[in-house]
Amino acid sequence: MPDHPPNHDGSWRHQLGSPDFPPEQDRYHLYVGLFCPFAHRVILTRELKGLQKFLPMSIVKPYPKEGGGWRFPATDDEYPGSTVDHLFHSKFLHDVYFKSDSQYKGIYSVPVLWDRKTNQIVNNESQDIMRMLNTVFNDFLPSDNTAQRDLDFYPPHLRRQIDEINSWMMPNLNSGVYKAGFATTQESYNENCRIVFSTIDRLESHLSDHPRHIYILGSQITEIDLKLYTTLVRFDTIYQQHFKLMIGSIRHNYPHLHRWMKHMYWKVAGVKETTDFKHIKENYSKSHGDINPRAITPLGPEPNVESWTQDDENWRREREQL
């Protein structure tokens, strides 16, 4: 059975669906944080594919992080939205990592895909887990549930475009907000802040150039939509002020992306339900003492996501009829 290599970079990259980790009901478990955009993309994949009963979740609290890293509440009522560790009743996420590798010295990140049968981590890389959940449980879904069985976030006919967008969106926006936010010099901040906004500009131009698109690549939702949503829904809410990304806001400066994000939030079932702004805002504002030493969580913007209007609904209906 695969083991974690002794000289590792902090990642487990085993594949669910391989001979060692076949898809089975009641075998696998997810560890996530609702605050984390990388965990959120996995939660969205699980939710939209209808995999809740195949893949139960344990959810860490959004803070504190110091003194041992991400931790679980003592009860499910301690911090709404967080849960106890349903498998081991661990106090800290690092306890789960040490169960898989007692010599582990990397970071304790979410998401984590755990195998109950072999008692080890399968994978802790969000894109890997997204891609695996996209297809690996399809045969377990009810035969009459064709919508979720057929839902494919990485369809063959769009893979070239998805890979191309991933190649610049992931480093320059999804990770880019952190490069700007955690910069330790003015020069590094200036450079990375500009990169973030040039990437948002590029995505705005893409939607402007494709006015019939309801999703980033047309009429079909893909992993690009999930990855972009989990970053942009945090942008005005916390990244803009916390990471000093003040050149513009999604709601005021990017009309095409703003409507696309509102559509994701209000009209794609499961997206709003997995977006927890309390977890998001309190995680960033109360976990980064070097950025926000008093740990005050800001109010606003209000509302967190603007309402879906009749003009928005007309826009949606026109595109669904194309």
Q: Enumerate the active-site residues.
A: 36
* CA 223 – CA 279 distance, rounded (Å): 23
Helix (H) or strand (E) holding 85: none
Instruction: Locate the DSSP E strands across 25-146.
Output: 28-32, 57-59, 112-115, 120-123
* CA 298 – CA 281 distance, rounded (Å): 8
Residue 46 has φ and ψ, to the nearest 5°, of: -60, -45
Amino acid at 98: F
Answer whether the bond into residue 303 is a cis peptide, omega within 30°.
Answer: yes
* CA 155 – CA 224 distance, rounded (Å): 12
Query: 88 is written with which tokens?
Result: 């081991």
What's the CA angle centered on 113, arms 167 and 119, to 5 degrees?
Answer: 145
State the DSSP code for 107: -
Q: How far is CA 142 from CA 48, 149, 271, in A?
A: 14, 8, 22
- Tell me if 194 sits within 8 A of 179, measured CB to CB: no
Non-local (6+) Cβ contacts of 102 within 8 A are none
Entry field: residues in the chain: 322
Long-range contacts of 95-103 (CB under 8 A, 24+ apart): 96/31, 96/121, 97/121, 100/4, 100/12, 101/4, 103/6
